[in-house]
Chains A and B, each alone.
Chain A
Amino acid sequence: MSKSLFDKVWDSHVVRSIEDGPDVLYIDRHLIHEVTSPVAFVGLEGRGLSVLYPERTFAVADHNTPTINQHLPVQDPLSANQLKTLEDNANKYGISHWGLGHQNNGIVHVVGPENGITLPGATIVCGDSHTSTHGAFGAIAFGIGTSEVEMVLTTQCIMQPKPKKMRISVNGVLNKAVTPKDVGLYIIAQLTTSGATGYFVEYAGDVFENMTMEGRMTVCNLSIEMGARGGMIAPDAKTFEYIKGRPKTPKGADWDTAMAYWNTLKTDDDAVFDKEFTFNADDIEPMITYGTNPGMGMGISNNIPSANAVEGGKATYDKSLAYMGYTENEQMIGKKIDYVFIGSCTNGRIEDFRAFASIVKGRKKANNVTAWLVPGSHIVEEKIKEEGLLAIFEDAGFVLREPGCSACLAMNDDKVPAGKYAVSTSNRNFEGRQGPGSRTLLASPLVAAAAAVTGLVTDPREFL
């Protein structure tokens, strides 16, 4: 029977299938961080259980970490306690731990691929919904709750019904200043924030084939924002080139064995999907969100859509726009902004900082803007320095911070104040996401850069 890429990877990880119930799914790689893992360890200890395969779990501190002065003790006692708990648990059970200050530290979804933890055809889970990022490599990767973190620690398995399959194809060539982030936000705006709930997505077509690995990660990362369990892209020469030689990828004969398997990881020609969508690259322009969920996005030169054109009912729409301080049908270009955040597992990789630099080079940060430039990892931070991007940022009046999740979810001190507007390259514009009362406009690094130098929502095509 013909199979999709998703079927091939899922089916090869089923340890047992329960009739009228879930599959018992084997997990190859388990990533943990300080926020969603402590209670899982409390749970397993309460049951008198231990960690079954500690070498398959990787602990990384990221959600709570400060992005300045990381060499000093963490000030917030609750954050410090979570970070310490992660370290203690990792040490106790023999789990690899990349804590604050470690050279490999960074956002878990950035450092996984950088270090070869992420592999094609693997199952990867983490107590974080943006685990979907790793799907860029042809892995089945998705976020889980803390009960499931405990399951993976103790049994290396979770129990989940197999999701339905969706394929999203985008064909053609992207226009100037249209980035992978714009492709993701465009798809979410088309499908709505719940349009892919219950599905696992495969991205196909010219646009994804021609995309860099960094870009594919951005797109797969955003899969959860339309409700999908995850998203994936078939591995190809670009994928193999990216992972080859990384610290934790297979070497020698193991590499050859793995390649033989990886070469089978594509959707059969006659495979059937439960749902298919096809879009044209030419229809996509630089995107920006105007509301309080990632589905409320639009082409930057458009006007805010009227209530009847938006899924979710008038009351929900009105509540959203009232929170944002915007009105129906007005334009977004020219709106004043206060903060710019570039970073996160969505857009915190080297390519994103190159894009940001391409616009701010030779220009100056607007006086009214506070900008947070937060690399996704120390490896990204080093590349920013090596490639001369840091000098460009500093000349333009920007400061580079240290890696972490930062203002994406504002668990650390990087909080946007109430009522202020932030153009963010992150993934969620929910009410209060970047700090109580904060207002978030999601966009690409290019749109963020244009906003950073003008202090206004600005079409990045003006600068390119």
Chain B
Amino acid sequence: MPNTTNTNSPRPRLFRWEDPYDLSGSSALFLEAVRENVSWHASRCPRYARILERENFSPRMIKGEEDLWKIPVIPTLYIKRNRLYSIPKNQVRHTAVSSGTGGVRSRVIYDFSSLACGAAMVKTVLSYHGIFSPVPCRYLVMGYEPYAGVETGTVQTAFGATFAAPAASRTYALKRDEDGEYRLNRDGLRRELSRLIKEEQTESPFRLPLRIVGFPSYIFFLASELDKRGIRLSLPPSSCVLMSGGWKTFWRQEIGRDELYHLVERVFGIPSARVFEFFSAVEHNILYRCCKEGHFHVPVYSRVIVRNPDTLEPVPDGEPGILSFVTPLMTGMPLVSVMTDDLAVMGRPKPGKTCACGCSTPYFKLLGRAGARQLVTCAAGAAEKLKEAVNESF
């Protein structure tokens, strides 16, 4: 058995770290885990070994965090177009597929050890933010209903989120019909919404908390439709909103974060402290929570580097560049240093200070997707469908 499944090696220890934002305490362990992860892939994935060789890179060159950007960076575009695997097929335990931009998708494979590390991270981060709860709740998933063998990352994530508290029910906005096509679950949505309104009017003592899960744009659309109809709910206190993914609305503009938070509070009675937005990518499945300042704070599991497009070197804080990440999470594929197609800026609280949210780690802010044209992603494609259908449904 490979030694990284040893639960005492640096990688599993990092992913079991108690405080998910204790960067200084875990730094040495992080570096050790990254070095080990680079070596692991170099010895198992010949194509990756050639990439390291091309840049004369060896894991020994990682002496401190300031050296992390030098690990040859692989664009997600490369992962979409090329195969880059470090484990044999029979060790694959899970597959996640990105939402395709331009029809090309990346297929990311997990072995048992990466799944276990990922699960430990999810548990730590969600507990830290008070998202795990023993109180049963109803889920309203503003996204796709999963099915056996679903590989689309966004669907898996939304489904996964419905386990953070015991589910009394799950209502999906988009359900598959007999032909496997996703259609708006008109009846289900209407039933769930009228139940919520009725419970509100009768002040039912048996109300369960509601958790709304999905893309920000869907949640925005739902909330603004209810808002237009003058609907005001005050859901039980442990209700919350869990969202991740695209911010593009049906009109292809970005909605303001503040605007959405206010709307959610007005319509559902869910305060902004109970609205949780996460960033993660299929090629980099680390959870970044967005605080109320719009900052995605860096957790112990990864480091974030914003790169100059021309030189690929890190840019100073505050300067826009290409968002890229370093994490030792994956053993199935060499995704230790990847570059996304997002533009972002880095920032960090002043020495000795914390962010207004209380977190002291560096953070990134998203500026939009790279590209000359508007890329149609999973969220945007489905949003069109949702808009049409919701308009008919009400």
Partners in one complex: no
